[in-house]
């Protein structure tokens, strides 16, 4: 039986040489196992049995930011402009002090007094930040909330989204829920994102003008987990390769493994105005060559939008 990784044993340095190769092989093995090739109970305990949930009183939102301060500014502003009325929200943001723009943004936002919203910046070493499941596991184990929403900093919360969530989870026995519809904005380039960050208010995107994505399962930024499940299982806590630092930002293969360990793809809930800001430039590419990547992302997005029509 695989054991959970002790958080006090985490290192801030990524593995080198043979250890890095073993890590890469382990990640690929977990990807194959999570596809259904192997039973989840070989890799960790099942989620606890749950009673019907009451109306949520506390929600923790967990976000990561590396090179995306302009998007994080929009997410923070969405909470400031649409604070919940019947729900206490803690926004936990994992970041690295080496990302000076993000650190400065969090410091500025921490000075704001927003009803029912508390910001909790959580610094990590860059190599730990680059493996998103490390931060998510730390937050899952420590959360005191009724529900914890694992998201990304390009997700925005419109009017009534969080209050509706608080009511919608009442009576749920599910360990994992997600919004039934995600509203994807037009693809924005770097200049448009800078203008968005510099504005005094977020644009009021009309859901009718966005791409409607009808979801059949929870996805990486739209995973809302019952608090007692998060505290019991963490986030891929027993899958050691997903708790090891990395040299650069990793693709989030662990999200599928997380749902596999929960034995569910999640239950869809009618939560209005959950937006995702689509962007061509990736923060993880900062300082690296990006020949044609932006153009390829735009073409791929246009093709996906056309197929959804």
Mean pLDDT in residue range 214-226: 96
Residue 287 pLDDT class (50, 70, 90 cuts): very low
Which H or E element spans position 4?
none
Average pLDDT of span 157-178 = 96
Ranges 64-68, 137-141, 288-292: which has the least confidence: 288-292
Question: In the beta sheet, which residues pair with residue 275?
Answer: 156, 183
Q: Regarding predicted confidence, which is higher, 74 or 7?
A: 74
> How far is residue 178's CA from residue 222's CA, in Å, rounded to a whole number?
6
The pLDDT score that the predictor gives to residue 185 is: 85
Cβ burial, residue 18 (10 Å; 0-12/13-18/19+) = exposed
Spatial separation of the C-alpha atoms in residues 51 and 136, rounded to whole Å: 24
Report residue 239's pLDDT band, with 50, 70 and 90 as the boundaries: very high
Percent of the chain with pLDDT over 70: 86
Q: Between residues 306 and 165, which one has the greater pLDDT?
A: 165
Residue carrying the six token digits 């904005």 = 185
**pLDDT over 60 at 308, yes or no:** no
247 conformational bin, left if phi > 0, alpha if psi -120 to 50, beta if neither: alpha
Maximum average pLDDT range among 14-23, 57-66, 191-200: 57-66
Determine the average pLDDT of the residues in 198-215: 77
Instruction: State mean pLDDT over 288-307.
Output: 52
How much is the average pLDDT of 251-278?
95
3-state secondary structure of 275: strand
Which is higher by pLDDT, 223 or 247? 223
Predicted local distance difference test score (pLDDT) of residue 18: 84
Helix (H, G, I), strand (E, B) or coil at 104: helix
**CA nearest to 102, candidates 49, 66, 78, 77:** 66
Q: When comparing pLDDT for 153 and 302, which is higher?
A: 153
With a cut of 60, say whether residue 39 has pLDDT above it. yes
pLDDT digits (tens, 9 = 90+) for 46-64: 999 999 999 999 999 999 9
Mean pLDDT, all residues of the chain: 87
Instruction: Judge whether 165 and 59 are in contact, CB under 8 Å.
Output: yes
From the centroid of its chain, how far is CA 226? 15
In the block, tokens 């939560």 appear at 271
253 backbone dihedrals φ, ψ, rounded to 5° = -65, -20
pLDDT score for 21: 84
Contact 161, 75 (CB under 8 A): no
The pLDDT of residue 229 is 98
Cβ atoms of 211 and 301 closer than 8 Å:
no
Burial of 245 (0-12, 13-18, 19+ CB in 10 A): buried
Of 134 and 284, the structure prediction assigns the larger pLDDT to 134
């Amino acid at each position: 039986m695989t054991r959970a990784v002790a958080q006090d044993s985490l290192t801030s340095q990524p593995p080198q040489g043979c250890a890095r190769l073993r890590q890469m092989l382990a990640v690929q093995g977990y990807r194959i196992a999570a596809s259904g090739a192997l039973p989840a109970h070989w890799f960790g305990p099942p989620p606890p049995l749950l009673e019907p949930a009451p109306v949520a009183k506390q929600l923790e939102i967990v976000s990561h930011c590396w090179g995306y301060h302009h998007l994080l500014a929009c997410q923070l502003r969405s909470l400031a402009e649409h604070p919940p009325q019947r729900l206490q929200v803690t926004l936990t943001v994992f970041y690295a002090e080496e990302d000076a723009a993000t650190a400065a943004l969090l410091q500025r936002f921490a000075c704001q007094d927003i009803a029912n919203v508390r910001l909790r910046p959580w610094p990590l070493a860059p190599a730990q930040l680059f493996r998103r499941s490390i931060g998510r596991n730390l937050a899952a184990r420590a959360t005191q909330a009724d529900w914890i929403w694992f998201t990304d900093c390009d997700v925005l919360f419109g009017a009534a989204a969080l209050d509706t969530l608080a009511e919608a989870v009442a009576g749920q026995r599910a360990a994992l829920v997600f919004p039934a519809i995600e509203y994807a904005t037009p693809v924005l380039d770097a200049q448009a994102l800078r203008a968005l960050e510099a504005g005094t208010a977020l644009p009021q995107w009309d859901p009718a003008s966005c791409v409607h994505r009808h979801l059949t399962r929870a996805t990486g930024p739209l995973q809302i987990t019952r608090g007692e499940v998060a505290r019991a299982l963490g986030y891929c806590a027993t899958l050691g390769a997903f708790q090891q630092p990395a040299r650069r930002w990793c693709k989030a293969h662990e999200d599928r493994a997380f749902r596999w360990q929960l034995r569910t793809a999640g239950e869809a809930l009618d939560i209005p105005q959950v937006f995702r800001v689509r962007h061509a430039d990736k923060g993880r590419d900062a300082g690296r060559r990006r020949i044609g990547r932006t153009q390829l992302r735009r073409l791929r997005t246009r093709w996906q939008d056309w197929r959804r029509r």
